[in-house]
Amino acid sequence: MSDILSASPRPNATLHLAHDLNEEQRAVVEADPQPLLVLAGAGTGKTRTLTYRVARLVARGCPPPRLMLMTFTNRASREMIMRVQRILAVDMRQCAAGTFHHVGNRLLRQYADTIGISSDFGILDPEDCRDLLSGLIAERGLHKLSTRRFPSAKALHAIVSLSAGTRIAVEEVLRRSYPRFVEQTATIVQLAEAYAARKMRINVCDFDDLLVLWLRLLQHGRRPQVQELLGRFDHILVDEYQDTNALQGAIADAMASHSRSLTCVGDDAQSIYDFRGADVGQMLGFKQRHPDARLMTLTLSYRSIPEVLALSNRSIAHNKEQHQKSLRPVRAPGPRPALLALRDVFQQAEFVAQRVIELHHERGIGLGDVAVLYRNHSHSLELQVELTRRKIPFVIRSGTRFFEQAHVKDVIAFLRARANPHDELAWNRLLRLWPGMGMQTAQRLAEQLSKNSNAPSAPSAFEWATREGTTMVRDSMQRLTTLWSALDGMGETGPAQTGPSEQIRTIVEHHYGAYADHNFTDAPRRREDLKNLASFATRYARDIDLLRELALMEGIVVDQDESNQEPGEKLVLSTIHQAKGLQWRHCFVLWLARGKFPAMHTLRSARSMEEERRLFYVAVTRAADELYLCYPTLDEGHATPLRLMTPSPFVTELDHDPPVMDQWEIEETPA
């Protein structure tokens, strides 16, 4: 690519602004360099307009390295930069583009010494941070306090991070967002200081530090260097401005303090990171911070057909805190969004898979033009299985595939070893989950067990092992024996075989739950996943049926990795947070049931309900052509079999005249 690209635009590189943009968009692209805020609804071309503004600046002589473009993901910025490259045939790789963290990291490496830090600092990911905090908590003996009285390492990290992002002191963060820990303020503040000091000492930064130090550099760095840095950039541009926090807002302002050229675009209705300290107030306070700012808007909506737009607008109108925006659809009318009340999550998964096949085979829609969106990663569980069963290729944008996660594999290892005692790998995996089991001991025992266990259900299989090894190993083996008997015993009173679901629950109750609490900083989430796994497993009468299904999933994973070259041909599964800024022709939204979406913990606060509704708004505005809203009516929970689910208020509140969606009837499939 680079050999056909030049460092500056070709003399004949022309922009066809009149052709590619509407008048409002062109006004933004051509606006003089000054603080500029574009506040506009979903799909009005904010990102496109920002891209063209970059292109025009370059076309008029601004060298790419003198531009700084901040976006929500590095992928988004890459796409924008590639677009400019294509339009102008200019090499844009030297443009400072990416997330705030990405750009901050690069600058800090160059300017670290001006604020007295070493430029070879390491970076801690959130898990590392929690480990570091756990260590500090334990050093002070605070780990013995219940998490009701004292924050866990994870909560502490969230508090420290919120304080950094909002630029509000820890004391105040506790008062506002964590009142239950206010009594512990002094200790928490001291811990936060110790955390900062420890990071300095071992020469590491966490993600927040990349921003905190960047701002510190701009405000307190040695003047000549700061002047030099500010002089390097002529224009600062920010996409998705509604989700910047106070810290990022201050950085953008400071970076533009010399050039005065700051272009920010965003949509207050799509602000979905309040829980991490994103602050729409940034956007609303723009004019106060920049009295010379120009506010502009875009009112033509290009992405969605009018029917999808009507539904989105009716939804967001329920939020009190929002800017009224007029949006006029450009596209021709199409079908009204569909509302589907499905029997349960399995039927929900079947419906989506079936509909995707129809769209693909009967209407020729590319799989890459279809997305399934959900609030939580675990909401995609049944669908992953259904798609695998039907051999529909898919990519997951919301994290690891459910069944590839360590905790799921750990628990499944117990079932595997029971079903096939010769499975040495499964033995090895499950043995390592017990105290005293190093790699070597586990390996040796796994070999023995896989050779000897002809009657794996009998605790006697472990007898020889309980006589061997250290006290800790013997202890562990005794506890494993008890668990094994419990798993056997389950079959004795009831039917000959209790289902794998009961077994999974027993494994978690007897051992794995405590193991997770001890070993993972996000244990509650993992426990939740395992609950979901147990209720998923109720579908299988015998453990071997479940295991067969999972083995099939693993086989498919390999196929899918190989076909990575054609990303366009895969259905996309994504959390809504990860789908921000993107679009697909057809979108499904799953689990629109009260307590799932909106999530249970948000139901009681008006503020978090508004954030959840904005999340719903982001989901529905991703759809260009067709939108399907799905919810299961029965929840076959583990504790309470067959609970009736209520549809999400986000769906029921839309239901008045004129209608904005059609209720679809689904034929009952035989169970």
Interaction site with ligand ATP (CB under 6 A): 21-22, 25, 42-48, 267, 270, 302-303, 581, 621
Q: Which residue intervals of 93-184 are DSSP H helices?
A: 100-111, 126-139, 153-166, 170-177
List the x/- string, 532-571, binding to Mg ion by CB under 5 A: ----------------------------------------
Q: Which is nearer to ligand ATP, 26 or 287 (CB)?
A: 26
Give how far Cα 419 sits from Cα of 456, 543, 633, Å: 9, 7, 34
Return the bridge partners of 599, or none: 595, 596
Q: Which two tokens stand for residue 179?
A: 């009142």
In 3-state terms, what secondary structure has residue 435?
coil
Q: Which does 602 bind (CB under 5 to 8 A by kind): ligand ATP, Mg ion, none?
A: none
Q: Closest separation between CB of residue 4 and ligand ATP, Å?
A: 24
Compute the distance between CA of residue 567 and CA of residue 395 in angstroms, rounded to an integer.
8
> Does 104 interact with Mg ion (rule: CB under 5 A)?
no
Q: Which is nearer to ligand ATP, 441 or 621 (CB)?
A: 621
Q: Which is nearer to Mg ion, 98 or 151 (CB)?
A: 98
Q: Closest separation between CB of residue 238 and ligand ATP, Å?
A: 13
Q: What is the DSSP string of 209-259?
A: HHHHHHHHHHHHS-HHHHHHHHHT-SEEEESSGGG-BHHHHHHHHHHTTTT
Compute the distance between CA of residue 267 and CA of residue 254 in angstroms, rounded to an integer.
22
Q: Closest separation between CB of residue 207 and Mg ion, Å?
A: 23
Q: Which is nearer to ligand ATP, 40 or 630 (CB)?
A: 40
Q: Closest separation between CB of residue 41 and ligand ATP, Å?
A: 7
Q: Which two tokens stand for residue 131?
A: 């480990």
Neighbours of 313 (CB within 10 A): 20
Return the bridge partners of 572, or none: 371, 395
Strand segments, DSSP code E, in 249-337 are 262-266, 294-296, 300-301, 328-329
Q: Which is nearer to Mg ion, 46 or 379 (CB)?
A: 46
Q: Closest separation between CB of residue 581 and ligand ATP, Å?
A: 4
Kindly state the DSSP code that residue 36 receives in the 8-state scheme. Answer: E
Q: Which does 386 bind (CB under 5 to 8 A by kind): ligand ATP, Mg ion, none?
A: none
Q: Which is nearer to ligand ATP, 85 or 184 (CB)?
A: 85
Tell me, what amino acid is at 577? H
Gyration radius (Cα) of the chain, Å:
28
| CB of 346 closer than 8 Å to CB of 354 | no
Q: Which residue has the tokens 């010399």?
A: 258
Q: Closest separation between CB of residue 56 and Mg ion, Å?
A: 18
> Does 47 interact with Mg ion (rule: CB under 5 A)?
yes
List the x/- string, 568-587, binding to Mg ion by CB under 5 A: -------------x------
Q: Report the site for Mg ion in 123-152 (rule: CB under 5 A).
A: none
Q: Which is nearer to Mg ion, 46 or 586 (CB)?
A: 46
Neighbours of 419 (CB within 10 A): 17
Q: Closest separation between CB of residue 24 and ligand ATP, Å?
A: 9
Q: Which is nearer to Mg ion, 50 or 660 (CB)?
A: 50
Q: Closest separation between CB of residue 87 and ligand ATP, Å?
A: 13
Query: Which contiguous run of DSSP H or E holds residue 410?
Result: helix 406-419
Compute the distance between CA of residue 330 and CA of residue 126 in angstroms, rounded to an integer.
43
Q: Which is nearer to ligand ATP, 302 or 540 (CB)?
A: 302
Kindly state the number of chain residues that form the binding site for Mg ion, as judged by CB under 5 A. Answer: 3
Q: Which does 22 bind (CB under 5 to 8 A by kind): ligand ATP, Mg ion, none?
A: ligand ATP
Closest residue (Cβ) to ligand ATP? 45
Q: Closest separation between CB of residue 457 and ligand ATP, Å?
A: 56
Q: Which two tokens stand for residue 162?
A: 């919120």
Give contact residues for Mg ion (rule: CB under 5 A). 46-47, 581
